Structure 1
């Protein structure tokens, strides 16, 4: 695991390497306690057949997936019980065995790779494939059409299917203040208060906040903004974060106070160099994800909620879209503001916003439906009140039942056309 971590740390971000490590630790712990292959516990160094069997059991019994065999590979189908981290687990375990093979620590073939992949795709991959160049997607129109197959997309032995990404819709507008109150009650540091406020106010990923430098603030013209890196930007500052006046005050107070106490230079904000990171540990080292996560866990436990750090980003987007719909003057302004949000979030796929909009479409329908239900209750009371005076025994007069006479002619015409469309 240590060899794997140091190897991956040179190729992917530290946060990604750590998340892989945590995922693998859970799996290997399960191997030692619960795995079974031909009557024995499975070890990470066992044959690829034993590892595959163990992974199948782990996916089914621990992660609530269903498996469907297809040729020489397995389709992995998520269920309602499955966590949203299946793809992350498969990526981590595949990367692990690819790494230990490269380092010559594993003597079998990669159990996460379908050895027959290259042979089986031959009939789907004719001469039209360009030499030494990857096939472009069909939409590019540069390749000769051929029979499409899932086999042409991946050499993985376990293939996750029907995995449409769905965001966490967090509509509780009080959520940040619940977290702030919990942090205050347990005596959080000013550093953690600033970080958590930035997460909720900017929609940033945690690593985008933890890796902020003094120069990132000086780079922006606006005093309430900071430049920051983006996922996949290779440390380039291609996006910015915008925050409130109160958070800026707390940030300056932290840098000139708490940070100065623990930093090696003992300098205030104006005298720090651009490459100095904003957030430090008590030892004066850069504050990292593991250290922050420990503090975050204490806060959410005290708040008595279950919430991972990334959900602050979902909360931000959910409430930004709500604000757009509540304040925009019309459909044109809504579209313009949605485009601005997409650009701010630096989403690679602009269609991401539609997943959030689906929530608001449903919420809008619920509001309409609730209004209808309230009106029906009101009409019911009026009807019973009016009908009480027209009852003779159990008989109602024709005028009571003739509801069309109480409706405008235009509404009657619309209702009649609507019913015809339902035939």
Structure 2
């Protein structure tokens, strides 16, 4: 629960337990995260941890007793392992001083985020001096082994020589994670969403549950810009005014710590709907009843407000999204709109470009627009289009085979059946033949 405007408190929000009582460990954790990571990331961690602490309170069992968050590290580890296997349907197996976690096809895509969140939780509570043991999510033996590998040289019982000397093998830049639970079959793959009608199905689903202007504008922005939900719902009036084009806004990016580092571009129709929202529905809920031009909204004012006149949050927005998807029996995470945008843009790039150089240039422009830290992200989408090209070419081949089969059958009806002959290619010995071609020729004999 967020702190009301008329209440003074050191806490921006409170987390409650199953008995509707304030649960300070998670509350303190959230506020410790602020300033260290983005607020959206802190909220994401909270959302991952809430189901675990609920499960801990209701279903955890260690030697016949419930497990509490402040128990010994080995008890916490046992509880987390139980949660991973029974609630998140992972496979966990022993390995030396840590555990390997295998994801199954039933495991949610939040396993990695949960492990990061619970590790960060205990790190915060140790820093706040509220958890008196070592972090249960860290493999202390791994840290010790890493230290030894960094300090011990090739000479027995001698320290490592300085790297400038060139007498020791260089230390690898990357090291193994020190996490107690290590996911070993996780490989992030962007989802390919290639249905051209998907946005309109979502808009129609919103109409059926009477979406407000706000929900409609945000959903259109999701599909038209490829942005994350938080990058849209946390926009301010100043973010819109700062761009020269009336079809653009500036916003933050994941990992930019709130700094506005990228722009989003959307359609003229969405611009019209945005202004209609700002000057009617938003004005209605604005405590000062201001609109965009006449009363001059301040730059720091949030574009999207709740019915209580407070800044819109992800959870408040997601309630309306989830309601519309369930009502229309559509299983669609809002983040998939981002994957749909990338897939659609790449298809357009391949369709309108006249050369490979032009395709590469446009792809580089898309990478810059998306603010991807790793340019290789686009390769997975490219792999999809390579497969699509193969499918198209293969279908043409199959159609050609079908046509030739019909022609052959027609000829058999009118002509006497003749024994087919294969053309034999004779080659001179002095001519060198490629090995693959030679294998093909030998197969014809």
Within the alignment, does 1:74 sit opposite 2:99 as a pair?
yes
Q: Does 1:174 align with 2:194?
A: no
CA change 1:179–1:24 in 2 (3 A) is same
Q: CA deviation at 1:323?
A: 0.8
What are the within-5 Å matches in structure 2 for residues 100-111 of structure 1? 100-111=125-136
Specify which structure has the higher proportion of helix. 1
Q: 1:50 to 1:371 in 2, by over 3 A?
A: same
CA distance in 1, matches of 2:93, 2:254: 34
Further displaced range: 190-199 or 1-10: 1-10
Q: Normalising to structure 1: TM-score of the pair?
A: 0.86
| Displacement of 1:348 | 0.7
| Equivalent-residue separation in structure 1 for 2:170 and 2:59 (angstroms) | 45
Q: How far does the alpha carbon of each residue in 1:121-176 deviate from its partner, in whole angstroms, 9 at most, with x for none?
A: 23321368xxxxxxxxx9xxx996347598x4322111222422100111111110
Q: CA deviation at 1:219?
A: 1.3
The secondary structure found in structure 2 opposite 1:7 is helix
CA-to-partner distance for each residue in 1:236-267, whole Å, 9 max, x for gaps? 22110010010011011111111111112222
Cα separation, partners in 2 of 1:143 and 1:75, compared to 1, 3 Å? farther
Distance (Å, rounded) in 2 between the aligned partners of 1:171 and 1:324: 14
Partner Cα distance (2:167, 2:262) in 1: 35
C-alpha change, 1:422 and 1:306, in structure 2 (3 Å) is farther
Deviations 1:279-333, CA, capped at 9 Å, x for gaps: 1112211111111011111111122111222111111111111111111111111
User: 1:375, 1:388 → 2: CA distance?
Assistant: 20
1:7 equivalent among 2, 13, 32: 32
Measure, in 1, the Cα distance between the counterparts of 2:227 and 2:172. 38
CA distance in structure 2 between the partners assigned to 1:35 and 1:361 by the alignment: 48
Structure 2 residue corresponding to 1:306, chosen from 331, 353, 361 = 331
- 1:31 alignment partner in structure 2: 56
1:275, distance to aligned residue in structure 2 (A): 1.7
Where 1:37 maps in the other structure, the secondary structure is: coil
SS at match of 1:116: helix
1:384-418 Cα offsets, whole Å, 9 max, x none, are: 22123335xxxx312xx34769xxxxxxx99x939
In terms of mean alpha carbon deviation, does 287-296 or 93-102 score higher? 93-102
**1:51-62 counterparts in 2 under 5 A?**
51-62=76-87
CA gap 1:122/1:185 in 2 versus in 1, 3 angstroms: closer
Deviations 1:203-237 (CA, angstroms, capped at 9, x unpaired): 01111111211222221112211111112222222
Give ranges in structure 1 of 5+ residues lacking alignment.
129-137, 406-412
Q: Is 1:375 aligned to 2:382, yes or no?
A: no
The reply on whether 1:153 has 2:153 as its aligned counterpart is no
Q: Which residue of 2 aligns with 1:249?
A: 272
Q: Hey, what does 2:235 align to over in structure 1?
A: 212
Coordinate RMSD, CA, aligned: 2.7
Please list every run of 5 or more consecutive structure 2 residues that lacks an aligned counterpart in the other structure.
1-25, 154-162, 425-432
**Per-residue deviation, 1:115:** 2.1
Write out aligned runs for 1:2-401 (5 A): 2-126=27-151, 145-146=169-170, 152-270=175-293, 271-390=296-415, 396-398=417-419, 401=420
TM-score where L is the length of structure 2: 0.82
Give the Å deviation of 1:383: 1.5
Q: Which moved more, 1:250-259 or 1:68-77?
A: 68-77
Distance 1:337 1:422, change over 3 A: farther
Aligned partner of 1:417 in structure 2 is 437
Identify if the C-alpha distance between structure 1 residues 221 and 147 changes in structure 2 by more than 3 Å, giving closer, same or farther: closer
Worse overlay, 238-247 or 40-49: 40-49
Q: Separation in 1 of the partners of 2:148 and 2:415? A: 80
Structure 1 segments (4+ residues) deviating >6 Å: none
SS in 1 for 2:330: coil
| Residues 143 and 367 of structure 1, relative CA distance in 2, 3 Å threshold | farther
User: In 1, Cα distance between the equivalents of 2:317 and 2:32?
Assistant: 24
Structure 1 residue 419: deviation in Å?
Answer: 5.8
Q: 1:418 to 1:111 in 2, by over 3 A?
A: farther
Whether contact under 8 Å (1:65, 1:76) holds in the other structure is yes
